[in-house]
Structure 1
Amino acid sequence: MNPSMEAIRQSILVGQPLIQILSYEEKRVEGFLLRMAEQVHKAPALAHWDINHGLVKENHSVPESRDPVIAIDAVINDPEPGFTVFRDLGPEMRRSGRVVRKLRDAYKILKGKRKIIFLLSSDEYFPQDLKKEIDIFPFPLPGIDELGALFERFLESMRRSGRQIQLNEAERRDFVIAAQGLTLDEAYKAYMKAFHNQPLITAGLVKGIHEEKKQLIMKENVLEYFTQRFTLDDLGGLDNLKDWLQKRRRAFTDAAREFGLEKPRGFLCMGVSGCGKSLSAKVTASLWKLPLFRLDMNLVYSGMAGSPELVFSRALQTMDSVAPAVLWIDEIESGISDKQGDSSSSRILGYFLTWMQEHTSEIFVAATANRIDLLPAELLRRGRFDQIFFIDLPTRREREEIFSIHLKAKGNDVSHFNVPQLAQITKGWSGSEIEQVIISAMYEAFNENRPLSEDDLLVIFGNSVPLATTMEEQIKKIRSWAHNRAVRASKDVEY
């Protein structure tokens, strides 16, 4: 049993009269409470209250009980033991001190009488006056076993309707894992959408489940879901980083746990701007076949979605719920720091450090930084990130790869270009600068209705100043910090 469900069970067994359960899944929570009622009272029945119907017990409504105070009185005066679920009582508690007072009375009267009032809501609100009397528990989202059972029932219904199922055991598990982080209703809806009008159920339909996760993430405002996929071939150079990622492709599998390996926590890529740090995060998610989510720290601090600390903690809780996944935090130094005099930043840093150390969900953090010197030492110590990589300006061999990647990606025949010569004359250029030069040169050729030529590139290079020149001092400072503090992402050096 999930730890949260076990904690609720223990609270029930010791006779705690007031229990608040936080969940969007009324049906699933009430099913759990029905099973607990059968255990405790040998009679699987629940009484319910909501603002529309009042108190209903055994299909009979209690007169005038839409008033929550009257409903709570009815529970107190009922001679029989039992469970009563109050749905969405939060607004009534906010509006009326009478409701809070009556709940405090109920706590004292119902102790030891095998009667429990459950407050069921997705709203985390509870009055301070009740904090000593009430137990509060989040109800966990469905786990692998529940989602697996739902998926098997769904496949059986598909089979009965004449659909052909072409999924092996591993592919079935992929569908179940893809639905992690969704409620049972959301998972059912995701399967319905993914399989709608599909006569053949194949592994490729799993992308529909990821789209449903995207809808979930969009509701959080500060998280962005990336659907574009990349491969290692899209990343020029950085062989040490690629090798590290390749060796961890199966890091989130049961086989890795059975071997004794703990799941990886994340990496921090620091270095020169425009050299592949962000692309490394995108490639990681694609290589490991995990969904990628980007946390926008600017939106966290904007206040648009609430206080920064609350928004940040809610975003991490959402990520825990959609695991396994990759969480990409771009330019982490701009949002997670120990800025003097900024209490929000300090609290966010503290929360993030604790979460990185303690979270048990299969979330891999891919963080990038341009100014590593702005990050607090606590964030950089071993145990937070599995590895810190330094990404420098690309070497000559890496620039050759970068030219080939971008020329091919934009429909050019690489054999028409002297790539080694282009790599030689672009010493000190970043990968993004090389890409932008190719784009600028292509606009020149397009404007003249002709194919791109090597001369177009040479003209643009001749009229441009690379970052290595304009930010020479800053780059030296970054290299100095990285020496003996970070692992080089590239195997070779400039020559």
Structure 2
Amino acid sequence: MFSQSLLPLLHSYRTICLQCPLIERTNVLSYLVQQFNLPLFSWNLAAQQIRPLKGTEIDSNCKKVSPSTAIDTELEFNTIKSVLLTWQQRQDSGIIIIENGLSLINKSGLDILLTEILNGCQEVNKFLIFLEMGEEGVPDSLVSVIPSLYLPIPTVPDLEQLAQQLNLSTDLLLPGLGLYGEEISQGVRLAQASNTAINDTLLNYKIERFQALGLALNPTPKAIDVGGMDLLKKAVHQLQLDYSSKARNLGIPLPKGWLLAGPPGTGKSFVAKLIANRLQFALVTVGVDQVKAHGAVYLSNLLSRMEAAAPIVCYFDEFDKFFEAEGQGEAAKTREVLGVLLTWLQEKRSPVFVLATLNRLDALPPELTRAGRFDKIFYVGFPRAIERKAIFELHGGRFDCRFKDGTALTMEQWQILIDQTNFYTGAEIQAIVENAVRQRFYDGLEIELTLDDLLAATDKITPLFTRDTERVLAMANRAKGVCEPVSSPDNSVFAPACVNL
């Protein structure tokens, strides 16, 4: 269940921290009972007493409360302190498992007392195991004396063993990659109880579990196209080659990921769907706000799940939100999150392609933009003239087939429309087309868009560039010399003429 280093670490440090989800609690306790011949005890705040799991009873002075009694901070402090003191006074050998106790120790300032107990444990064969099932990690002051072990998420070989236990084919459990063993078993039980296909039920269960953790999972992104961005599309094709079996045979390293910077509405989110579809990877969108709220341990757990569910595209939208700290406490949490991200991006060897989008490149710490973290950094700006035409054709073709065969507007009409929509984002052009279609629908007319329809819809939209010119220009200026362009220079007939000032 845990790595083979569990026993050596426990004998070396006399105390360890085991991290696992709550759903695996019973399995982990059963595993620990089987691993040790010493008397084994457990304590948690709900039971309010030290209970024997294996071996003899223990005299406990822990303060007991009824289930209806509210647990306030003072009571928590006294209770966890009495547990530690009771264990310190024990003369015989044994192991105590303290469930979710590190948060209480960290909050109560009992680090020094715990250190004294750890030193005393060296004299007799006594051990402490902190079983953490939440987002609390080892306090910084105790990291050097309490090593951490994480319950691994099952891989394909583990699924084969689980499939044998459940008397099922391994292929049926493959959609469960990224879930813990007990979660997979629960998904199978749901399928059997509802008499539905196991692989479909397991996939839907995984989508729900990921969503509860702040991860939006799209297992099969639909085919999508974006107007223009020829250089980025070429890079996506090269990305497909990087993940090919030929590249693996040649020993070419797996890609790490891309950063996309640029104003809102320029198509950065569409690129994530485009890449996932072209690579035929699942798309997992990470909830940045939820990660910020829960911290570094939570992020580590999410990254472990995503690596187990690979191959996937891991999409961080509004990536700069990670590093907006408010107050000293938030700043410390931000540094911890940054440390986890930096280590993972640097050491990642799994087929997890990371795509991070943001508005301002200067909002990121410089450590994240140096070589070795992301393979490419693109700036996605306002579409060029020929790209605006392509975007109009892309969205217009959804409602009016004339936009697909090029008969919707004349060249002169296209020139007028393209000139009128200079510095409009792709999202704003999409809104223009949809508003024009909606207006014709309200008027009871056939959906045959004219230049007048599109110009009337254009007049009703105030573009981002007009509303926030200074910040938009600042985004572009700060990206110069750092980012690659997503589009080639526009040499079409629609491009504005060069003026030599």
Q: Quickly name the TM-score band, shorter chain normalised.
A: 0.7 to 0.9
Equivalent position SS for 2:251: coil
| 1:292 CA displacement | 1.7
| Structure 1 residue aligned with 2:160 | 149
1:320 aligns with 2:304: yes
Secondary structure of residue in 1 paired with 2:444: coil
Distance of 2:489 and 2:60 partners within structure 1: 79
Q: How far, CA to CA, are the matches of 1:473 and 1:94 in structure 2?
A: 46
Deviations 1:58-89, CA, capped at 9 Å, x for gaps: 476456676665995599333xx554434445
> Which residue of 2 is the match for residue 29 of structure 1?
28
1:450 alignment partner in structure 2: 445
The match for 1:47 among 40, 43, 51 is 40
* Shift in CA distance, 208/261, structure 1 to aligned 2, threshold 3 Å: farther
Separation in 1, partners of 2:139, 2:224 = 56
CA distance in 2, matches of 1:317, 1:450: 54
Q: Given the alignment of the two structures, is residue 329 of structure 1 paired with residue 316 of structure 2, yes or no?
A: yes
What is the TM-score normalised by the length of structure 1? 0.72
Match in the other structure for 1:137: 148
Q: Does structure 1 retain, via aligned residues, the 8 Å contact 2:264–2:359?
A: yes
CA contact (8 A) 2:154 2:181 kept: no
Q: Structure 1 CA distance, aligned partners of 2:52 and 2:17?
A: 19
Q: 1:472 to 1:31 in 2, by over 3 A?
A: same
Distance 1:195 1:281, change over 3 A: farther
Point out the more displaced range, 206-215 or 85-94.
Answer: 85-94
Once the two structures are TM-superposed, the CA of residue 460 in structure 1 deviates from its matched residue by: 2.0
Q: 1:188 Cα deviation (Å)?
A: 2.0
SS in 2 for 1:233: coil
**In 2, distance between residues paired with 1:407 and 1:193?**
44
C-alpha distance in 1 between matches for 2:227 and 2:146: 54
1:276 to partner: Cα distance = 0.8
Range that drifts further, 81-90 or 261-270: 81-90
- Name the CA shift for 1:100/1:69 in 2 (closer, same or farther; >3 Å): farther
**Cα 1:211–1:334 shift into 2, 3 Å:** closer
Structure-2 separation of matches of 1:348 and 1:91: 17
Match of 1:121 in 2: 132
Matched, 1:186 2:174: no
How many Å separate the matches in 2 of 1:345 and 1:109? 33
Alignment match, 2:204: 208
Identify the residue that residue 311 of structure 1 maps to in structure 2.
295
Alignment of 1:457-472 (within 5 A): 457-461=454-458, 466-467=463-464
* Cα separation, 2, equivalents of 1:345 and 1:139: 20
Q: CA deviation at 1:437?
A: 0.6
Gaps of 5+ in 2: 64-81, 493-501
> What is the CA-CA distance between 1:186 and the residue it aligns to?
1.9
CA distance in 2, matches of 1:21, 1:359: 23
Counterpart CA distance in 2 for 1:469 and 1:97 is 54
C-alpha deviation, 1:208, in angstroms? 1.4
Mapped contact 2:16–2:130 kept (Cα < 8 A): yes
Q: Distance in 1 between matches of 2:355 and 2:248?
A: 21
Indicate the residue corresponding to 1:160 in structure 2: none
Unaligned runs of 5+ in 1: 38-42, 158-164, 219-223
- Partner Cα separation in structure 2 for residue 96 and residue 332 of structure 1: 34
CA contact (8 A) 1:48 1:87 kept: no
Cα separation, 1, equivalents of 2:338 and 2:88: 46
One-letter amino acid of the counterpart of residue 315, structure 1 = L
CA distance in 2, matches of 1:334, 1:379: 14
Match of residue 408, structure 2, among 405, 415, 418: 418
How many residue pairs were aligned? 454
- Answer yes or no: is 1:290 the counterpart of 2:282: yes
Number of the residue aligned with 2:396: 407
2:252 matches 1:261: yes
Counterpart residue type for residue 402 of structure 1: I
Q: CA RMSD in A?
A: 4.6
**How far did 1:447 drift?**
1.5
Q: Following TM superposition, by how much is the alpha carbon of 1:442 offset from its aligned partner in structure 2, in angstroms? A: 2.1
Q: In structure 2, what is the Cα distance between the partners aligned to 1:95 and 1:462? A: 58
Contact 1:270 1:371 in 2 (8 A): yes
Distance in 1 between the 2:115 and 2:475 partners? 60
State the shift of 1:378 in Å: 3.8
Structure-2 separation of matches of 1:472 and 1:107: 61
Give 2:28's aligned amino acid: V
Q: Distance in 2 between matches of 1:480 and 1:70?
A: 58
Give the direction of change, closer, same or farther, for the CA distance of 1:185–1:201 in structure 2 (3 Å limit). Answer: closer
Report the Cα offset of residue 227 of structure 1.
3.7
Q: Residue by residue, what CA displacement relative to the aligned partner does 1:418-437 show, whole Å, maximum 9, x if unpaired?
A: 16756542242321111101
1:203-282 matched pairs, under 5 angstroms:
207-218=203-214, 224-225=215-216, 227=218, 230-249=221-240, 259-282=250-273
Distance 1:199 1:107 in 2: 52
